[in-house]
Amino acid sequence: MSEREMMLTRKGFADALIEIGEQDEKLVVLDADLSKSTLTSLFKERFPDRHFNVGIAEQNLINVAGGLSLTGLTPFVSTYGVFLAGRAWEQIRTSVCYGKLNVKFGGAHGGISVGPDGATHQALEEIAIMRVIPEMKICVPADYYETKKAVKASMEIDGPVYIRFGREKVPVVTSEDHDFEFGKAYKLKEGKDVSVIACGTMVSEALDAAEALKSEGVDVEVVNLHTIKPIDADTIVETARKTGCIVTAEEHQKNGGMGSAVMEVLAQNYPVPVEMVGINDTFGESGSPSELMEKYGITSKNIIEMVKKVLTRKKS
Amino acid sequence: MVYPIELSNEELALKAIQMRRDIVEMTCSAGSGHPGGSLSSVEILVTLYNTVLKHDPDNVKWEDRDRMIFCKCHITPAIYSILARTGYFSPEDLMTFRKLGSDLQGHPSRFHPRGIEMSGGSLGQNLSVATGVALGLKHQKKLNRVFALSSEGDLQEGQSWEAVMSAAHFKLGNLCLFVDYNKLQIDGYVEDVMGIHPLDEKFKAFNWNVQVIDGHKFDEIRDAIKNAIAFEGGPSVIIANTIKGKGISFMENEAGWHGKAPCGEDMEKAIEELKHEESLLTTK
């Protein structure tokens, strides 16, 4: 496995907010008592009068942000994904999305790698429940730099955007000057035998899997599908045509997540065999991030296994 | 026309009767809707939209307008009536209420008709929105006022109290909330379904400026608003004791008229009563 620099995606979130805040005085940031975790406390230190903490009240958090947006401000709200996307789902649906309010969501602590806090705090369902809401756009950036770019790109969009990021440091797989376009998937590695479509933390796992498989003579194409909605159907179909089989990889329930979204595109446009790497319809538990990734089957090893499986289906 | 305007209590009373006619006719034409809670809020809305709110139906995006946020959004018959009667759209359109393709959705959309500040319908959410609007205006040092209309049903939602707590915490002196307190909800008397009494003490405990009035008396509504505006230290609530179904004898204080349209003989009887009220006022 190659050595990559490890950085926090949530730091990318906070750094982007501060950079935007320097330019745009309409940006305001809202928290529900977790600013030290989400790192929006850094924004608060820099711009104390543009930070609002509503206390532990996520439903109010969403609608206060909605109200702020109605006065011409651009609110970015942030808390853990379970409380944000889950607890305040209907506020997001009915007030923000139906009303097309210009509210941005920073969904922190996504995925099982949240670790020792356990199942209650490990958001594994947000992609599914956010992507079914009309008007919502969703991005799951892969690393520090991509998170930063996604946050900046979301400010150019008039309407709700949900950006999901994790708690742990993750390997840097892009770079400061890497292209980023909201809604456009990127190939991080060209290949001809099989495509691995991944998002978030699983992008680096996919790259590791591709490297390992190279020595076994399997040429893997790695697609970083950071934007889940609107989904880049062109790139998905193009890579399916090229390699003829696909493995999806996400730190999220298999049901309804990024892999499901990919299969919706494929089934309707260019059906090919697909295998999925993700959480298998279960809750997490306490443990270290790496122990959990291993136990719940979302590492490069699992990707390798699914690549081999999908290749047998491709051949048959 | 730019509001507010000066109107006598008699003039307001005539406008209230017109609104009640609209409410009855709209719900009957739609075959559904919420007449009970619409009728209880009529005096509050007539007073606000004519004599209090700074607004211009010809310029809905006017920067200096006051903001009216509805928390009890199911009273669209009342909301659409007051908007049409103050010039946001033609009163003729009222009869398209709840019909396919109409701008007048069962619960309001922020995008139509003109004059709606915020979509709504799911209770408990829009007091938070009103709080956010007031916070945003205060943050930008703007002088616009924010008015909101809630109900005790809306206040049964836990989120409403998150908003109540935060509006006081942020010291939103630009926010004035009306509670259309008609004591009835779909399943019966509020105190039987889920008691909320004492409402005034609850708001006081949350550090709000509290007034309790008769929500059908124009003088009391006007005075309470003046007091609320004069109080700058934090948010104000005006708990308006009202009668569900007010103005139509057989609908008053009947939970059954929360979400049922008066039709046929019921409608004829209702219109007759309102015409009679009107003649009493005009022949004075």
- Using one digit for the tens of pLDDT, what is the confidence trace for A207-224? 999 999 999 999 999 999
Does the distance separating the beta carbons of B133 and A94 come in below 8 Å?
no
Q: Which amino acid is at A39?
A: L
Q: To the nearest whole percent, how much of chain A has pLDDT over 90?
A: 98
ipTM of the complex: 0.96
- pLDDT level of residue A2 (50, 70, 90 thresholds): low
- Verify cis geometry, omega within 30 degrees of 0, for the bond prior to B113: yes
pLDDT of amino acid A315: 67
- pLDDT level of residue B4 (50, 70, 90 thresholds): very high
Tell me the mean pLDDT in the region B78-92: 98
- Comparing alpha-carbon positions, the chain A residue that sits nearest to B140 is A71
Asked if residue B4 is part of any domain, the answer here is no
Q: Examine the pLDDT at A46 and tell me if it is beyond 70.
A: yes
Q: To the nearest whole percent, how much of chain B has pLDDT over 70?
A: 100
Q: To the nearest whole percent, how much of chain B has pLDDT over 90?
A: 96
Handedness of CA B30, B107, B43, B260 (dihedral sign): positive
Residues A182 and A158: beta-carbon distance below 8 Å = no
Structure tokens at B241: 């004791």
Domains of chain A: 6-171 (3.40.50.970), 186-315 (3.40.50.920)
**Inter-axis angle of helices B76-85 and B9-30, to 10 degrees?**
130
CA distance A250 to chain B (A): 33
Q: What range does the domain containing B173 cover?
A: 9-282
CA distance B268 to chain A (A): 37
Does the distance separating the beta carbons of A60 and B166 come in below 8 Å?
yes
pLDDT of amino acid A316: 55
Asked if residue B3 is part of any domain, the answer here is no
Q: Examine the pLDDT at B74 and tell me if it is beyond 70.
A: yes
Tell me the mean pLDDT in the region B130-141: 98
Q: Examine the pLDDT at B128 and tell me if it is beyond 90.
A: yes
Residues of B in contact with A134 (CB under 8 A): none
Residue A167: helix, strand or coil by DSSP? coil
Asked if residue B2 is part of any domain, the answer here is no
Looking at the complex, does the CB of residue B130 fall below 8 Å from at least one CB of chain A?
Answer: yes
CA distance A282 to chain B (A): 30
Residue B234: helix, strand or coil by DSSP? coil
Does the distance separating the beta carbons of B121 and A64 come in below 8 Å?
no
- Residue from A276, A275, A279 nearest A296 by CA: A279
CA distance B135 to chain A (A): 7
Tell me the mean pLDDT in the region B107-128: 96
Mutation site for B-interface testing, chosen from A47, A53, A71, A79 by largest number of B Cβ within 10 Å:
A71
Q: Examine the pLDDT at A153 and tell me if it is beyond 80.
A: yes
pLDDT of amino acid A144: 97
Cβ count within 10 A of residue B226: 11
Tell me the mean pLDDT in the region B168-192: 96
Asked if residue B261 is part of any domain, the answer here is yes
pLDDT of amino acid A28: 98
Does the distance separating the beta carbons of B129 and A66 come in below 8 Å?
yes
Handedness of CA B98, B101, B103, B107 (dihedral sign): positive
Asked if residue B1 is part of any domain, the answer here is no
Handedness of CA B206, B208, B211, B214 (dihedral sign): negative
Residues of A in contact with B121 (CB under 8 A): 94
Looking at the complex, does the CB of residue B60 fall below 8 Å from at least one CB of chain A?
Answer: no
pLDDT tens figures, A132-148: 999 999 999 999 999 99
- Comparing alpha-carbon positions, the chain B residue that sits nearest to A61 is B128
Asked if residue B210 is part of any domain, the answer here is yes
pLDDT of amino acid A66: 98
pLDDT of amino acid A178: 87
Q: What is the mean pLDDT of chain A?
A: 97
Measured between alpha carbons, how far is B34 from B26 in angstroms, rounded to an integer?
10
Asked if residue B273 is part of any domain, the answer here is yes
- Give the residue numbers in A contacting B (CB under 8 Å), as ranges: 28, 49-50, 52, 54-55, 57, 59-60, 62-73, 75, 90-91, 94-95, 98-100
CA distance B144 to chain A (A): 11
Domain at B223, CATH number: 3.40.50.970
Asked if residue B140 is part of any domain, the answer here is yes
pLDDT of amino acid A37: 93
Domain tally for chain B? 1
User: Count of A–B CB contacts within 8 Å?
Assistant: 111
- In this complex, which of B67, B125, B132 lies closest to A94 when CB atoms are compared? B125
